[in-house]
Amino acid sequence: SPVSQIRNFSIIAHIDHGKSTLADRLLEMTGTVAKEDMKAQLLDNMDIERERGITIKLNSARMNVKEDGHDYVLNLIDTPGHVDFTYEVSRSLAACEGALLVVDATQGVQAQTIANVTLAMEADLEIVPVLNKVDLPSADPERVCQEIEDVVGIDCSNALFCSAKTGQGVPEIIKRIIEQVPAPSVDETQERMRLLVYDSFYDNYRGVIAMFRVVDGSISKGQKIRFKASGKEFIVEEIGIMVGGLRKPVSRLSVGEVGYVCANIKTVGDARVGDTIIEAGTENEVEALPGYTEATPMVFCGLFPAESGDFENMKTAFERLSLNDAALFYEPENSVALGLGFRCGFLGVLHMEVIKDRLEREYDLDVVVTAPSVEYQVQMSDGTETTIQFANMLPPPHKVAEIREPYCLLEMIVPEEHMGPCMELATQRRGVYRTTNFLTQGRALLEYEVPMAEIIRDFFAELKSRSRGYASMDYRILDYRSNDLVKLEVDINQTTANPLAQIVHRSRALQFAKKITGILQNEIPSQQIKVIIQARIGTHIISSKLIKAVRKDVLAKCYGGDITRKKKLLAKQAAGKKKMQAIGKVNVPSEAILAVIKKT
């Protein structure tokens, strides 16, 4: 089809505002997928996504539409709906000329509405506001239009009203995409092939499949291609388009079109999102498309198999998962308390949960997760610089000149009646207040600058509970800032419990120290020697707890000669001992370590 009849667009929305439902309706109403073939939410393809109702991995769909006697091709490029995947969102938006901004007319603007619109504006897209869920009695699309104009600064005089559920207003959306979203622009001076990779995933049969937008030139089967950033070269086995969730091979794709390529690529690390595909041999003449950065992990934690015999299985699982996930970082670790496992890096907390979930469901592993940490930049006294992701990597204080931690811009939308407690939370988490904007329906948009370390420690759950479930939030990384950060360590009878070390702000250290020592005091059973639990910064002890010694005789409870009962008790005690870790001469149950990791 001629370029003038192609429309490349995506749908952006806050979670639950109806993006997937609208996408399904568009596929159905353009006849791309027959109604009886509609599975719930065709574009969300992982179980986890369906269960959580969020879209993580992007997917695309091509629709053919006849309008005023012309044949149009509408390419829907779906975007992930979570802050962890902002980089992927920005790359998929870069493959489009327009975006439908879907806002729930009963809810109004939410945190991710703003975040996504910001990205769409940065990508210079034509934005079409769509007010969804107008079938609901509580919908107030006019008022929400006003809010969109006030808060996000987009003209809503031509906004469309629809119900993705009933299909009302959806034909008008299709018409509007054709009218308002520009056709791809063609730079006649550029004949050399340049393709933007906006998604790539691993297929068990075909290897990596890379989704791309043809920015310049064209691509054909059999051609030799090169990924500019990774430098890897491949022969094109198959190119094609996605129709109704199925791959349909074609022989050639030209400027403005979107499609997929299979080229016997073994890992997504060779075909990363944001990379530029060029013709092999042209690398000295053809520049990469702008905007490529490697997605780098921001959140780190240890993942350990609950059964120590599962280490090899877990290793295999990581190898397979990373074929499909270029942002996943892992390396083996041997922890005194938790045994053999892995140190891992993730894009964010959701990414971490998704991987844990997949290890459990797809690989049938029981997984123990340690407390998440961010990456710190450490300026050494000798002038060198290093980055660390785990407290145990922090050099001794006399060698450290400065420690910097990542800060985020945090946007929260909360009902006015819950503003007090939500602001208090941000302040407790060392947030620096920026602004308040009042929205419709008695809600306020609050902005803070907050250390990322504080956001990944259960911030969202706490915000939800302080707002009775009504708050939404989004954050993006701003910069790294120098702070008075210290390593908080825990000793049990003079022996350091390594997995419990954390980097915390000095002002929060006492609070954490008391909590940790308190948990350990409750969780460690009394033993034949007295147990002293101490939390310290360097050599300075800031909290300490004592567990008195007792002489515990498990057989004392048995009167007389009930041999089987005695045996059972002894066996039980032996089993209990297995799960104990000796720290110093103290037996510490693994549960005690885990309780600290979970609750701090």
Q: How far apart, in whole angstroms, are the C-alpha atoms of residue 208 and residue 514?
A: 50
The least distance separating ligand GDP from the CB of residue 161, rounded to whole angstroms, comes to 10
When CB distances are held under 5 to 8 angstroms depending on the partner's kind, the choice from Mg ion, ligand GDP, none that residue 529 binds is none
By CB under 6 A, tell whether 60 contacts ligand GDP.
Answer: no
The least distance separating ligand GDP from the CB of residue 61, rounded to whole angstroms, comes to 14
Pick 115 or 503: Cβ nearer Mg ion: 115
Q: Which amino acid is at 333?
A: E
When CB distances are held under 5 to 8 angstroms depending on the partner's kind, the choice from Mg ion, ligand GDP, none that residue 294 binds is none
- CA atoms lying within 13 Å on the CB side of residue 256: 18
When CB distances are held under 5 to 8 angstroms depending on the partner's kind, the choice from ligand GDP, Mg ion, none that residue 91 binds is none
**Span near ligand GDP by CB under 6 A; candidates 132-140, 199-207, 280-288, 324-332:** 132-140
Q: What is the total count of residues that contact ligand GDP (CB under 6 A)?
A: 17
Q: How far apart, in whole angstroms, are the C-alpha atoms of residue 324 and residue 234?
A: 18
Can you spell out the DSSP letters for 304-350? Answer: EESSGGGHHHHHHHHHHHHHT-TT-EEEEEEETTTEEEEEEEESSHH
When CB distances are held under 5 to 8 angstroms depending on the partner's kind, the choice from ligand GDP, Mg ion, none that residue 587 binds is none
The least distance separating Mg ion from the CB of residue 15, rounded to whole angstroms, comes to 7
By CB under 6 A, tell whether 472 contacts ligand GDP.
Answer: no
CB atoms within 10 A of CB 375: 20
Of 37-56, which residues contact ligand GDP (CB under 6 A)? Answer: 53
Q: Which residue has the tokens 């908080």?
A: 488
10, 32, 55, 600: residue in contact with Mg ion (rule CB under 5 A): 55
By CB under 6 A, tell whether 223 contacts ligand GDP.
Answer: no
118, 121, 146, 165: residue in contact with ligand GDP (rule CB under 6 A): 165
The least distance separating ligand GDP from the CB of residue 50, rounded to whole angstroms, comes to 9
The least distance separating ligand GDP from the CB of residue 103, rounded to whole angstroms, comes to 10
> 394 to each of 135, 337, 507, 598, how far by Cα in Å?
56, 19, 19, 22
The least distance separating ligand GDP from the CB of residue 55, rounded to whole angstroms, comes to 6
- Assign residue 494 a region: left if phi > 0, alpha if psi is -120 to 50, beta otherwise? left
H or E segment at 492? Answer: strand 485-492
User: What does the buried/exposed string (b/e) look like for 339-361 if buried means 16 or more CB atoms within 10 Å of the residue's CB?
Assistant: bbbbbbbbbbbbbbebbbbbbee
Which residue's Cβ has the minimum distance to Mg ion? Answer: 20
Indicate the Cα dihedral angle 161, 163, 169, 173, nearest 10°. Answer: 80
**Span near Mg ion by CB under 5 A; candidates 49-57, 70-78, 134-142, 216-224:** 49-57
When CB distances are held under 5 to 8 angstroms depending on the partner's kind, the choice from Mg ion, ligand GDP, none that residue 517 binds is none
The least distance separating ligand GDP from the CB of residue 379, rounded to whole angstroms, comes to 42
12, 145, 164, 371: residue in contact with ligand GDP (rule CB under 6 A): 164
By CB under 6 A, tell whether 16 contacts ligand GDP.
Answer: yes
Pick 52 or 565: Cβ nearer Mg ion: 52
Of 81-100, which residues contact ligand GDP (CB under 6 A)? Answer: 81
Q: How far apart, in whole angstroms, are the C-alpha atoms of residue 61 and residue 56?
A: 16
106 and 136 in contact (C-beta within 8 Å)? yes
By CB under 6 A, tell whether 299 contacts ligand GDP.
Answer: no
Q: How far apart, in whole angstroms, are the C-alpha atoms of residue 49 and residue 53?
A: 5
Contacts of 205 (CB under 8 A, 6+ apart): none
Cα end-to-end span (Å), the chain: 58
> 256 to each of 1, 344, 381, 393, how far by Cα in Å?
10, 38, 53, 48
**Span near ligand GDP by CB under 6 A; candidates 141-149, 158-166, 201-209, 263-271:** 158-166
Q: How far apart, in whole angstroms, are the C-alpha atoms of residue 91 and residue 105?
A: 28
Q: How far apart, in whole angstroms, are the C-alpha atoms of residue 42 and residue 30?
A: 15
The least distance separating Mg ion from the CB of residue 42, rounded to whole angstroms, comes to 11
10, 20, 106, 112: residue in contact with Mg ion (rule CB under 5 A): 20
Joined tokens for residue 226: 């090169």
By CB under 6 A, tell whether 20 contacts ligand GDP.
Answer: yes
The least distance separating Mg ion from the CB of residue 313, rounded to whole angstroms, comes to 32
Contacts to Mg ion by CB under 5 A: 20, 55
Contacts to ligand GDP by CB under 6 A: 13, 15-21, 53, 81, 132-133, 135-136, 163-165
